[in-house]
Structure formats: C-alpha cells, structure tokens
Amino acid sequence: MALVPVKFGIGFLFVRIGLQFYNELISSQYGFLTMQAEALVHVYMDGSVLLTHDATEMGQGLHTRMVQVASIALGVHIERVNTTETSTATVPNLSVTAASASSYLNEMAILRACATIMERLKLLQMRNYDGVWEDWISAGYKPYFLYSYLSSGISLSPKGFSTTSNTGFDSGKVVGNLYNYFTRGAACFEVEIDCLTRDHNVPRNDVIFQIRRTDIAMAVGNSLNPEQRYSPDGFLLTRGPGAYRIPAFTDIPLEFNVSLLRGASNPKAVHSSKAIGEPPLFLSASVFYAIKEAVKAARSESGLTGSFRFDSPATAMKIRMGCVDQFTEQVHDPNATRVKCASSLNCTSQL
C-alpha cells in the first residue's frame, strides 16, 4: 500500500505518417525546390573515406546512417569511413533538414557517389582480382596502361545528387499518391505519478515500429520536461537546469520493450530504411496521455469528473496543479506566473 497518493495511467497511440511527399507542393508554397540533397565522397590513398553531405546532425543518428551506407556500398570496414560537419564550402545550396526526408535523400546521394567510385574502380579490379581495397585505391592514383594508352589515374572524389521522386500526384485534379510510402507504429506507456510531490515514473514502455531505430527516449523528454516560460516583459525565465527540469536517465522507462516489424520492406529507400524523425516523436505523445489519465484518476477523488485542460509538456508543476486538492485550491490561478524583475539580470518567478 502506498503511503503517498500515487496514481497510475496508461496511454496508447498509433501513427501512420506519409513520407517523401510530392515536390510540387513544396515548390508552390516556398517558390523553390527544398527536398533535395548533395553529397561529396573523398577516397584517400590509404583507403580511408571522407563523407560530406548537406544534412544537419541533431542527435537523430543521421551521420551514423550515412557512414553505414557508404561502408556497405564501397565494401570497406565502417571504421575506414568518416564524416565532416555540414558546410557550404564543400556542398553548396543546402536544403533544410526537416520533414523526415533528409536521411533518405542524403543516403541516396551518398549511394550514387559511391556507385560512381565503384564504376571507376572496375577496370582496376579486373586487372587485380586478388587485390584488396587499398591496392585498388593505390593503383587509381598511379599512371597505368589502358588499351595501349597511358592513363593518368582516376578521380576518386565524385559528387552525388538526389531529390524526392515524383509520386504521380496531380495537384490540379487532386488525384494520385501524395506520398511514396508510409511509416506505421504503435506505443503504449505505463506511468505512475506522485500527487503530493508532483514526481512521475515510467515503469514500462512497449513500442512496435517499422524502422530499425526509434528515438523514443528523446521524444519522451520532449513531451514531459522542457517548457519555456517568460516574464510579462518577455524575459526568458527558464535559462538553465536551475530553472527547469532537464531530461535525465531516470526518465527512461524501467522496462523498455521495442519490437520491429518483420517483412516491412521499403523498396523506395536505401536498404529498406524508413524515416526516423517525426514518427517516433509523435508516438511519445502516448506518455503524455498516460500522465493525463493518472491526473484524471486523482481528480476523480476530489469529485472532479468532467473534462479539464492539461497542456503539453506535462511538467512537474502541471502534474501537481492538475491533481486538485486542498493545497492546490490555495493557489488563485495555477496558470499565472507572478514575476519580480529588478533588472534583466536579476529576475525570479513565483507561483
């Protein structure tokens, strides 16, 4: 038996998100083609590989996917492949890293650049069947005779380009396929909240998805912790860990079960990969609804059974104020923040 008022909640969510949408829709809204990617692949004389592409790594594992694609396409160990930061000095005319399409587009660009390298190495491989990667690369930088002519070597720094393929959608008649494929998934979260201390815990999480990687842990933190709060003068109050609760290891569910669907191939992407951005981010909303159900159970004990407002993210303050009791009733307006600012450098908030 719990000595403190603890309530439990379960949240379930299913998502079906369309990816690689038709470029004409983007062009009509923004006036230019945004869903495209370029990549530059360098192969050095020692056999090492350097990748440069136009996507931005934000913790979603994009660089890792690029390295894996190049490693498989070139047939080299993954430790021989490196990446550099995104820069217009190497790859110009960058597109936005958004809409869960950057991984697919840049993977395809890198794959095409690597295919160019392998095509250029084909003659060298035929001349040396027993050779290894380093032998073929070294030979590519040396003059050799080809059909009685002296060749001065080959270029091993090609570029690759990719853009979202046409889905066949007719915007005039509004017929056809708007997306190239769909990503599906489901998640179920079990949570428990302490109505007195406003703390929460996630004992279990079950996720089933069509992709090889899910960013559920990062998305859960987005649904529970960060919330920007401002003073009436527009001064940002939540400027660091001392002003708001940052995600921690304890936010990860104690039992974290992830299942990947078998046979969910995707011939329209590299190695049957699928988007890893928005789909798992949307699934994390189920933990928010689980907390809302727990708060609803606490409110029912106070005789409140109707609908109530509970905004995301589910911060500790919102959980405590949602569990209405004799203590929260002493607060006149739970959504208001009274601020005392002596200066822009000395600003505090009080409930």
With bands split at pLDDT 50, 70 and 90, how would you rate the model's confidence at 32?
very low
- 217 and 330 co-located in one domain: yes
Q: Establish if 274 belongs to a structural domain.
A: yes
- Domain end among 130, 163, 196: 163
Confidence grade of residue 34 (pLDDT, cut at 50, 70, 90): low
Show Cβ contacts of residue 218 under 8 Å, excluding neighbours closer than 6 positions.
59, 247
In a domain, 217, yes or no: yes
Mean model confidence pLDDT for the chain: 78
**What distance in Å separates the CA atoms of residue 145 and residue 155, rounded to the nearest whole number?**
16
**234-279 pLDDT tens trace:** 998 888 777 777 777 777 788 888 887 777 677 777 877 776 667 6
Quick one: angle between helices 102-127 and 133-140, nearest 10? 80
Question: What is the model's pLDDT at position 276?
Answer: 62
By CB neighbour count within 10 A (0-12 exposed, 13-18 middle, 19+ buried), where does 115 fall?
middle
User: Encoding tokens for residue 3?
Assistant: 């000595």
Whether residue 171 lies inside any domain: the answer is no
Instruction: Look at residue 153 and tell me whether its pLDDT is greater than 50.
Output: yes
In terms of domains, do 47 and 193 share one? no
Split at pLDDT 50, 70, 90, the class of 2 is very low
Looking at the predicted structure, is the pLDDT value of residue 336 above 70?
no
Q: Say whether pLDDT at 343 is over 50.
A: no
Write out the residue range of the structural domain in which residue 337 sits: 6-16+180-350
Identify the bridge partners of residue 193 per DSSP, sorted by sequence position: 7, 200
Q: Is 241 helix (H, G, I), strand (E, B) or coil?
A: coil
Supply the pLDDT for residue 270: 80
- Give the contacts of 107 (CB within 8 A, at least 6 positions apart): 65, 66, 69, 269, 270, 273
Enter the DSSP assignment of 311: P
Asked whether residue 231 is domain-assigned, the answer is yes
Same domain assignment for residues 111 and 186: no
Residues 99 and 194 in one domain: no
Mode of pairing for the β-strands spanning 200-209 and 181-194: antiparallel
Lowest mean pLDDT among 23-27, 174-178, 258-262: 23-27
Q: Quick check: is 311 in a domain? A: yes
On whether both 151 and 188 belong to a single domain, the answer is no
Query: Could you read off the pLDDT of 300-317 as tens digits, one per residue?
Result: 888 888 889 998 888 888
Give the percent of the chain with pLDDT over 70. 79
Per-residue pLDDT, 341? 40
Residue 350 confidence (pLDDT) above 90: no
| CB proximity list for 330: less than 8 A, separation 6 or greater | none
- Please, are residues 272 and 266 in contact by the beta-carbon 8 Å criterion? yes
pLDDT at 1: 38
Query: What's the domain count of the chain?
Result: 2
Predicted confidence (pLDDT) at residue 24 exceeds the cutoff of 70: no
| 10, 29: one domain | no
84 is a domain residue? yes
Out of 68-72, 222-226, 329-333, pick the least confident: 329-333
Q: Write out the H or E segment, with its range, that includes residue 127.
A: helix 102-127
CB count in 10 Å sphere of residue 50: 16
Q: 191-205: per-residue pLDDT in tens?
A: 998 888 777 788 887
Alpha carbon separation from 304 to 194, 295, 321, 322 (Å, rounded): 18, 11, 13, 11
Of 278, 293, 301, 329, the catalytic one is 278
What pLDDT is stored for residue 295 in this prediction?
92
Asked, for residue 175, whether it belongs to a domain, the answer is no
Residues 154 and 215 both lie in one domain: no
Examine the domain organization and report whether 187 and 336 are in the same domain: yes
Q: Identify the residue with better confidence: 337 or 124.
A: 124
In whole angstroms, give the CA distance from residue 32 to residue 19: 19
| Residue at a domain's end among 163, 190, 219 | 163
Query: Cis omega (within 30 of 0) on the bond before 158?
Result: no
Which helix (H) or strand (E) covers residue 250, if one does? none
Q: What is the pLDDT of residue 59?
A: 74
C-alpha pair distances (Å), 180 with each of 20, 125, 140: 5, 37, 39
Q: In this structure, is residue 173 part of a structural domain?
A: no
Q: Domain boundary at 163, 188, 209, which?
A: 163
24 is catalytic: no
Q: Are residues 339 and 194 in the same domain?
A: yes
pLDDT value for 143: 61
Indicate whether 183 pLDDT > 90.
Answer: no
Query: Parallel, antiparallel, or unpaired for β 255-260 and 200-209?
Result: parallel
Helical residues (DSSP H) of 189-346, grouped into ranges: 216-224, 278-283, 285-301, 316-322
Q: Please check whether residues 10 and 33 belong to one and the same domain.
A: no
Please check whether residues 255 and 345 belong to one and the same domain: yes
CATH number for the domain harbouring residue 189: 3.30.365.10
Q: Considering only residues 213 and 127, tell me which one the structure prediction assigns the higher pLDDT.
A: 127
pLDDT of residue 66: 92
Residues of the chain with pLDDT > 90, as a percent, come to: 17
Shared domain check, 133 and 57: yes
At 81, is the pLDDT very low, low, confident or very high (cuts 50, 70, 90)?
Answer: very high
